[in-house]
Homo-oligomer: A and B are copies of this chain.
């Protein structure tokens, strides 16, 4: 008669064998990093994980996140053992067209988030666990399998800090301390106490154990479930455990085994154990917050308001109307104006403190559970979480990011606080949306659309108050542009957004007094861009000045040039952007120094018109042909 512990041991061996088989079939992958954690996972999935693999969307399911995403062979071996996938599919690991990818992605319905950039799974697990406690209010548990190498990532300690402060007793981290990183020993090797000291200092329960002793694992997991506060299991393991040729050997990271058949024989051969993972053991539905009708804020044309304030106002309105809206801020809520949401809807506001990686990870974790987060900080500081945003796109996460204090127009604080690369970096995220509203009513109109849009949705807001241009209630769709000045005589087009739209309007006024009619386009949707409006302006005016409070690379100018790439006739295009390192100064001084104020726009327009011949040119002629 086999005991439960024997079954766990056997399952551990099966998970090892299958990790070897899939990576050998792929001729790549990380079997040894999988083998170290196999016993930990065998006990977890047999007794502690509560998950209905037939209903991955059941809100009562636990969450199992492989923070060490390269142990994907182990994860897929688990899926096979549970019956979620078949053996044949498991062996398509890393093959083109297979959903059994090199690192886990949510192409598989049981995978919450993509991992593989180390140090991200645990911070996201904190977000899911926080959703369980404060949003869903359901007693599911979150399990994160972590590598020891990734403990060097600061983001892991942001996660430890937040989980500790929030007292997340529904979160268990399991550190697979196999001692060996990709190239050598980790900082702390098998010094389990080093991890214990750190974890306890950050307010966690820490349990050290032998990660290959199923009784010890069982004891530790029982303790994790019973303790209050977050718990970390610090498990001493061997990389490649069970196969002498690779066990605890350097130089065996990320490689299939040299002799998989011998290894499988050494592990006792193939097995076909099916695991009945416990199903969720409670009843309950996710909590929903009371809602009311959506009443967006309105701003009186002729007055002025900052778009960051309009964002804050609109977010409160949206939150009141929709239960799933939540807000997170990086401890600058009085700058981004999420403070209004915090005051109005405190149950759905989360303080990320000065920890932007954890902020974005929390957002990703919330959306795993169907909540719709808006995470806000200075746009410059979103750069701190760029890898998290990159991975969020691979996770197919639906999150909104809002960055205030864009560009040199913030003034005196100087370049460290100025976002000048945010449009470029966030445009270069797959499937992203990049909005840069120019007016408070427009901002308010866009905020609800952000919550309905798939992917990474970024809004850049402006620190300074700017004139209200549009009537309350005017329609602005993502992917649109607004022509704010237009006439049949237009000899040049000025394209700006945010603060530079207002400079463009001033420039158009100045040009009019020179007898030059200028079209002005509000490119509030930088990605997707309204290609038709831009192309029509190109055809009809033959000359375009783009202007942005951003470095020259990757922003509005490049977005415009891209849609004109194959246009014939092609307009003359002058890109105005911030050319030199800014300093402190007033917004006006800095915009002038950067060459992006009305004066410089008008100058650039005049120069272009002098080359195209302006209105002497008929619209049927080749656009932008030199007339000198």
A residues adjacent to B (C-beta < 8 A) = 26, 28-29, 69, 94-98, 101-103, 105, 107, 114-119, 149-150, 152-158, 161, 165, 181-184, 186-187, 197-198, 200-202, 329, 331-335, 339, 351, 353-358, 380-381, 383-384, 386-387, 390-391, 393-394, 411-417, 420-421, 424-425, 427-431, 527, 550-555, 557-559, 561-562, 565-566, 568-570, 572-575, 580-581, 583-586, 589-590, 593, 622, 624-626
Contacts and interface: CB of A to CB of B under 8 A. Distances in A.
Contacts of A331: 149, 152, 181-184
A394 B415 contact: yes
A562 B556 CA distance: 12
Contact of A424 (B95, B334, B554, B580): B554
Closest 7 CB pairs of A and B: A154-B154, A116-B416, A96-B585, A570-B570, A554-B554, A424-B428, A102-B414
A98 B582 CA distance: 12
A449 B333 CA distance: 45
20 contacts: A28-B412, A29-B412, A94-B413, A94-B585, A95-B585, A96-B593, A97-B583, A98-B583, A102-B412, A102-B413, A107-B583, A114-B415, A116-B417, A181-B353, A182-B332, A198-B198, A427-B553, A428-B555, A527-B553, A561-B565
B353 A186 contact: yes
In the assembly, how many copies of this chain are there?
A: 2
Contacts of A553: 424, 427-428, 527, 554, 558-559, 562
B387 A381 contact: yes
B568 A625 contact: yes
A408 to B, nearest CB: 11
A69 B429 CA distance: 30
A428 B430 contact: no
Contacts of A381: 117, 387
A339 B69 CA distance: 24
A149 B554 CA distance: 32
B565 A417 contact: no
A534 to B, nearest CB: 13
A90 to B, nearest CB: 14
A403 to B, nearest CB: 12
Contact of A566 (B411, B431, B574): B574
Contacts of A411: 28
B428 A551 contact: yes
Contact of A69 (B182, B416, B575): B416
Given A186-B353, A561-B565, A416 B391 contact: yes
Nearest to A100: B584
Contact of A156 (B69, B94, B154): B154
Contact of A568 (B156, B386, B424, B624): B624
Contacts of A413: 28, 94, 102-103, 116
Given A69-B416, A561-B565, 18 more contacts: A94-B585, A96-B585, A103-B416, A105-B415, A114-B416, A115-B416, A157-B157, A183-B331, A386-B387, A421-B425, A424-B424, A428-B551, A429-B551, A553-B558, A562-B575, A568-B570, A568-B624, A568-B626
A186 B428 CA distance: 34
A97 B593 CA distance: 10
A525 to B, nearest CB: 14
Nearest to A389: B383
A393 to B, nearest CB: 8
Contacts of A165: 187
B95 A584 contact: yes
Contacts of A98: 583-584
A412 B94 contact: yes
A414 B116 contact: yes
Nearest to A107: B583
B105 A181 contact: no
Max count, chain B CB within 10 A of own CB: residue among A200, A558, A624: A558
Contact of A384 (B103, B186, B387, B431): B387
Nearest to A351: B184
Contacts of A387: 356, 380-381, 383-384, 386
Nearest to A335: B182
Contacts of A412: 26, 28-29, 94, 102
A625 B351 CA distance: 57
A598 to B, nearest CB: 18
Given A102-B412, A383-B386, A386-B425, A197 B187 contact: no
A96 B586 contact: yes
B380 A390 contact: yes
B568 A558 contact: no
A565 B583 CA distance: 29
A586 B152 CA distance: 31
Given A103-B414, A339-B183, A353-B186, A566 B558 contact: no
B152 A355 contact: yes
B581 A353 contact: no
